[in-house]
Every structure is written in structure tokens, then in C-alpha cells.
Amino acid sequence: MHTKGSSCCCSFEDYKLTTEWLLNQTRHRPKVAVICGSGLGLLAEGAADKQTFRYQDIPNFPVSTVPGHEGCLVFGTIEETPCVFMKGHFHLCEGYSLCQVTFPVRIFKLMGVEFMLVTNASGGICPDFKVGDIMIIKDHINLPGFAGQHPLCGPNDERFGTRFPCMSDAYSKDLRTLALDVGSELGCSDFIRTGVYCMVSGPNFETIAEARVLLTLGCDSVGMSMVPEVTVAKHCGLKVLGLTLVTNKVSLDYSREEKVNHDEVLEICKMRAELLQKLVTTLIGRCQQNINRQ
């Protein structure tokens, strides 16, 4: 794997090599992939028959450098659904190219994954949002993409998808409806929201002027990840659900004294991890019913 500007630096052979390595090391054949954002690695704990690989031991895999990202791939089953969990993912601000950030998504596709559930932490922009709310992502704004930092820039490999993919339905409507239903069954409708997520490159949290711009643009929450993975997943035909945990309220007002920091973000993730795990586990069971019906 080599780096070439911001465009794709991985060849089809790189993806194939990693996929074959994993398929040779595990008997699991995942249908669902779950990407666990900051402090949300616990989501993998509900899986049975687990097999774990550290990122540094997987050929071509980047390694996690952000606190709260354990850096391992966990295969297992949830209610008989074969799954793979990424305990930790990669960020542009760690210095990775977007091709490296999204590398695992194409591995999942080549392994036979059909559904991808992405979770992360974000700051609430919508004034109605409260800390601890879980937002089902309806749509996103790819702010780095506006500036040419886009995971699909560079030569297009038709084996993954078309040159100009449609992104108006990146987040599956069926899965969003399912998530709302499951949330209501679990009695957490009060803090389940739906909205538009915006990705910024980070690593700094937003200035107040930037936060006001995001509000004007129609963003409900803001974070430093997820959009590249979702874009690449949609490009290669995966069905995607995005859940973001609102870990802090983004300051829109110069008189507000609170200052956000990553420890606080991890603290809120810890507080909500058990509930998110229940939500994700139940959703995976329902995805299986969907797979069986196909």
C-alpha cells in the first residue's frame, strides 16, 4: 500500500490480500459489520463465539492512535447473525489518507458483508438536542469532501462501484425506520432523534463562529469521522445505518462557559454504552430476519 496525495492509495490486490488473510484465519463469514466509534468498543461484548485480531497483526490494516479506540477486529455472532466489529476506527486527523480510513469497509464488502452499522460520538448543534441523545443519521454533509478530501477521488475501480455514485439515500430508510421502532420497544424514544450529521476534519473542536455556520447549513450534530466510511460503503452497495451519540452541546453562544474535551466525550459514551449495545444487538437480530427474507 502506498500513499499518493489524497486519492486512493490501495490497489484491488491490497484489498484482496487482506480479505484472503482474514478468511483464512477465521471461520466466521460476517453479514453485518459494526464500526464502533470513540469509547463504544463495548458494542462487541454481546457477541458469542468471538475471535479477535489486533489491527497491527492484520496485513495492510492501519492502527488506532486515538484514546478510546482499542484497535481490534472482533468476529462473532449475535442471535446467530455472523458479525464483525471494529473496536476503533480511523480519522483523517490522525494523518491517515481517506483510502486508509475506509480500507476496512471494502474488506467487509469482499468478505460478504451486507449491512454496516456505524456509531460515533458527536457534538449537538441542534439547540433541542441534549447530551446523551442518540441521533439516527438521516443524511450527512461531507465538509472535507467540499474541499476535495473525498475517499472516492482518484481512479475508480468498477469492481467496487460506479464512478459517480448517488448519495441521496446513503442511510437506508428501512434501517432508520427499524432503529426508530427498536428504540421505542426499548423505551428510549425520549432521547432518540433523527437528523443531519456533519463531518469536519478536526482535530480541534469547533469555534463558535464555525458552529454557527454549521447550524445555518442545517447540521444537527458534528463529528470527525463516519462520513468517509459511509460514502465508500454506499459506493460498494452496502446498506448503512448511522447512529451518533451526542456527547456534548456545541457552543453557539460567546457567553457559554463550558469547554468540551475528549475525556468528557468518552465519559458520556461510557454512560450510554450499555443502552447502545442493546439497541445495536436488537437491530442486528432484525437485520438477520431481513437477510432470511431475501
Ligand X SMILES: O=P(O)(O)O[C@H]1O[C@H](CO)[C@@H](O)[C@H]1O
DSSP class of residue 34? E
Query: Which is nearer to ligand HPA, 8 or 125 (by Cβ)?
Result: 125
Using CB distances below 5 to 8 A depending on partner kind, what does residue 22 bind out of ligand X, ligand HPA, none?
none
From the number of C-beta atoms within 10 Å of its C-beta (0-12, 13-18, 19+), residue 188 rates as middle
Least Å from the CB of residue 119 to ligand X: 7
> Smaller CB distance to ligand HPA: residue 34 or 222?
222
Q: Which residues contact 244 (CB under 8 A, 6 or more apart)?
A: 37, 119, 120, 121, 122, 134, 135, 137, 197, 221, 223, 226
Q: Which is nearer to ligand HPA, 110 or 219 (CB)?
A: 219
129 binds, among ligand X, ligand HPA, none (CB under 5 to 8 A by kind): none
CB of 248 to ligand HPA, least distance (A): 5
Shortest Å distance, C-beta 121 to ligand X: 4
250 binds, among ligand HPA, ligand X, none (CB under 5 to 8 A by kind): ligand HPA
Q: Distances from the Cα of 140 to the Cαs of 156, 199, 231, 271, 287, in angstroms?
A: 22, 8, 10, 25, 23
Query: In the bound complex, what is the minimum distance in angstroms from residue 272's beta carbon to ligand HPA?
Result: 13
**What span, in angstroms and rounded, lies between the C-alpha atoms of 161 and 164?**
9
Closest distance between ligand X and the C-beta of residue 120, in Å? 3
- Partner that binds at residue 248, options ligand X, ligand HPA, none, CB closer than 5 to 8 Å by kind: ligand HPA
Smallest separation (angstroms) from ligand HPA to the CB of 139: 18
Judged by beta carbon distances under 5 to 8 A according to partner kind, the member of ligand X, ligand HPA, none in contact with residue 91 is ligand X
d(CA 1, CA 153): 17
d(Cα 98, Cα 4) in Å, to the nearest integer?
Answer: 11
For residue 279, what is its C-alpha cell? 439497541
Q: In terms of C-beta density within 10 A (0-12 exposed, 13-18 middle, 19 or more buried), how is residue 269 classed?
A: buried
Q: Alpha-carbon distance 137 to 199, whole Å?
A: 12
CB closer to ligand HPA out of 146 and 164:
146
Task: Give residues in contact with ligand X (CB under 6 A).
Answer: 37-38, 89, 91, 120-121, 202, 223-225, 262, 265
Out of ligand HPA, ligand X, none, which partner does residue 206 contact, by CB within 5 to 8 A per kind?
Answer: ligand HPA
Residues lying near ligand HPA in the complex (CB under 6 A):
121-123, 205-206, 222-224, 247-248, 250, 260, 265
Per DSSP bridges, beta strands 192-199 and 221-223 are parallel
